[in-house]
Amino acid sequence: MAGVLWNLAAKRAPGSVRSVVAFRNAAQIPSLHSVPHVRTTPSRINHSLEAANERKALLARPGMLGIKRGMISWFTKTGVQYAATVLEIDSCEVIANKTVAKDGYSSVLLGQKDKIKNVTKHEIKICNEAGVTTKANYGEFRVRTDEGLIEPGVELTANYFAVGQLVDIKSTTKGKGFAGVMKRHGFKGLAATHGVSLAHRSAGSMGPTQDPGRVLPGKKMAGRMGGKSCVSQNLEVLHADGDNGILVVKGQVPGANGSFVKIADSKKLYGESMLRLKQKEST
């Protein structure tokens, strides 16, 4: 039997021996060179909480919470027009702090927009300890060290951010409901003719065949569109009015009007934006 299989493999094109072995349903022994080596020395990475926090891209100070109110046209002194988003800062106060010694990391818990009815006992407890009114929305901001913590009860206004600096705004996109692959992922779709019937907007082939014999996770398919967390990075602050609680940023912010957003210093370009502001002040 082995001679018959060997003759069959010899008559085939080079590289077809694998198909013959698969046909016999024989176990394939991997090469010794493909076996991963075993690490004998311990890892040099420090897995302590302090070392893990140092490796994270954390900011030195927390951000703040806001409410998206809509978009406007913003004109500069020279007449340049920008599309801008208006954010409302409504009673954004510090609720509590988390420290490395007690919780393993440093963070600040903020709340915004006073809410009296339909609040839980836990919310009433933590707000009473901070000396503030119960809030409609809460958000937590991790900071680099305990030095960036703010005392509970302190209110943050729109002047917390300087005009001209860059910020990152995190919010939830608008939910679009169940959508097909053409609308959700931008698929081309199938042909309009040439034998295609009732499948013009379908996804087509899923790709995998007998091996692995399943649709891999993460495959772009039809499903619920939108309603996901999204971050708009490096948005410039055009106007900050602490008395009226108005913050205007350049560009668009994801989400519907009236949705809650999280505003923080830019992780990528915060230092460059602040250096540019100092240079303008010096000149």
Alpha helices in 31-85 (DSSP H): 49-55
Residue type, 91: S
Query: What fold, for 49-176+225-282?
Result: Elongation Factor Tu (Ef-tu); domain 3 (2.40.30)
Residue 12: helix, strand or coil by DSSP? coil
| pLDDT score, position 170 | 97
Phi (first) and psi of residue 20, to 5 degrees: -70, -40
| pLDDT score, position 9 | 44
Phi (first) and psi of residue 273, to 5 degrees: -70, -40
The distance of Cα 126 from the centroid of its chain, to the nearest Å, equals 28
| pLDDT score, position 167 | 96
Structure tokens at 68: 């998206």
Structure tokens at 271: 């230092």
Cα 240 to Cα 159: distance, rounded to the nearest angstrom: 6
Residue type, 89: I
The distance of Cα 154 from the centroid of its chain, to the nearest Å, equals 28
- Residue by residue, DSSP assigns 258-280 as T-EEEEEE-TTTHHHHHHHHHHH
Residue type, 58: L
In this prediction the pTM is: 0.77
Q: Is 163 in contact with 247 (CB distance < 8 Å)?
A: no
* pLDDT tens-digit profile, the chain (283 residues): 444 444 544 445 454 445 444 445 555 555 555 556 666 676 677 777 777 777 788 899 999 999 999 999 999 999 999 999 999 999 999 999 999 889 988 999 999 999 999 999 999 999 999 999 999 999 999 999 899 999 999 999 999 999 999 999 999 999 999 999 999 999 999 999 999 999 999 999 988 888 888 999 999 999 999 999 999 999 999 999 999 999 999 999 999 999 999 999 999 887 777 777 777 777 7
The C-alpha angle with vertex 61 and arms to 89 and 245, in degrees rounded to 5, equals: 10
Structure tokens at 172: 């939830």
